[in-house]
A = this chain, B = another copy of it.
Amino acid sequence: MAALQNDLILRALKGEELSRPPVWMMRQAGRYLPDYIKLREKYDFFTRVETPELATEITLQPVDQVGVDAAIIFSDILVIPQAMGLTVLLEEGKGPILPNVIKTQADIDALNTGDVENRLDYVMKALAMTKSELNGRVPLIGFAGAPWTLLCYMVEGKGSKSFDKAKQFCFTQPEMAHSLLQKITDITILYLKAQIKAGADLVQVFDSWSGMLSPADFNSIAMPYLLQISDAVSKDAPVILFPKGSWYALPDIANSSATGIGIDWTITPKMAREMTGNKITIQGNFDPSHLLAPIPQIKKEVKEMIDAFGVKNYIANLGHGIMPNVPVDHAKAFVEAVKEYGA
């Protein structure tokens, strides 16, 4: 395998001194890129995800076209519920639908937790193919959804503003909820380890809905499973946890086995540094909607963001996924501004 020519993100996760931070963007492979939109017109979502050649092509687009310092494999967090045995439907432009939601212990007992390497062999093939195509240009990121976030979809059956059904399930049937969370955790650990074996240089765990939980509920429902994952997987490769909205968890995650923490834009860099005590690499936290501002303003704000976080122990990123209506020039300006930092 080719040696990495750009290992900035791995060095940032080790806390090494760098002249500028590495940069990538959540959802960088996808919807705002014209070449992606062309593929979307020809192939449906799961065809794009399940065909290694297509997933590889999509994963490489932002590396070639936007100049990010890391590739993240094109896939979806809901491949795990699929691998566990649930049907997942996805209509373009709408959210996912899981027609057979989890209601009973029998539903949970029927879920698969093993054999993920075979069940999701297309992800492993896409990682290996991407790794080979990258030829050491930048590191490759693997990922998975966090157990709480996957439970949300598996119980609610679709996206929601507040995931009340999922919360009700946890608050009224805690034993069942924990058995489901444990099953998701078990398969997720196997899945992330398999991704690393297949070529991922680091992995990120997306807890997209953790911010809907109170600190007490987060500590009961989300955190223990995030920690199980980072304890098990960080032996093999760096693990970035991204519990979106759960600013209150920063001190505990800073003291955990996680290598990095992703934060959204609803916390100042200063406060995030204070809450983590420089004990962990922070990734974030540009408000994605600020990419709609004029380019000079984007560049100014990126510089201010890096000034505020500091270059050490920092990965420049958005605070959430890039939006479909961001002009490619604006995405490039974001990346360029990071690369120009200090120059």
- When the two chains form the complex, which single residue of B164, B217, B248, B325 contacts A271, counting CB atoms closer than 8 Å? B248
Q: How many angstroms between the C-alpha atoms of A281 and B187 in the bound complex?
A: 46
CB-CB under 8 A from A268, the residues of chain B are 214-216, 248
B172 lies within 8 A of A294 (CB):
yes
CB-CB under 8 A from A19, the residues of chain B are none
> Interface readout for A223-248 with B: 1 if CB under 8 Å, 0 if not?
00000000000000000000001111
Closest to A246 in B: B266
Q: Give chain B nearest CB distance to A53 CB in angstroms.
A: 33
B215 lies within 8 A of A293 (CB):
no
CB-CB under 8 A from A292, the residues of chain B are 164, 167-168, 171-172
Q: How many angstroms between the C-alpha atoms of A45 and B248 in the bound complex?
A: 38
Closest to A213 in B: B266
> Interface readout for A67-103 with B: 1 if CB under 8 Å, 0 if not?
0000000000000000000000000000000000000
Closest to A167 in B: B289
CB-CB under 8 A from A265, the residues of chain B are 214
CB-CB under 8 A from A247, the residues of chain B are 247
A211 at the interface (CB under 8 A from B): yes
Q: How many angstroms between the C-alpha atoms of A20 and B161 in the bound complex?
A: 34
CB-CB under 8 A from A164, the residues of chain B are 289, 292, 323, 325
Q: How many angstroms between the C-alpha atoms of A161 and B246 in the bound complex?
A: 18
A300 at the interface (CB under 8 A from B): no
CB-CB under 8 A from A197, the residues of chain B are none
Closest to A298 in B: B171
CB-CB under 8 A from A211, the residues of chain B are 266
Q: How many angstroms between the C-alpha atoms of A217 and B297 in the bound complex?
A: 14
Q: How many angstroms between the C-alpha atoms of A268 and B213 in the bound complex?
A: 11
A186 at the interface (CB under 8 A from B): no
A287 at the interface (CB under 8 A from B): yes
A168 lies within 8 A of B289 (CB):
yes
Closest to A218 in B: B266
Q: How many angstroms between the C-alpha atoms of A301 and B299 in the bound complex?
A: 47
CB-CB under 8 A from A294, the residues of chain B are 172
> Can you list 12 residue pairs at the A/B interface with Cβ under 8 Å?
A171-B289, A171-B290, A171-B292, A172-B292, A214-B265, A215-B267, A215-B268, A215-B271, A245-B266, A247-B247, A248-B266, A248-B271
* 3 closest residue pairs by CB, A with B: A167-B289, A214-B265, A168-B292
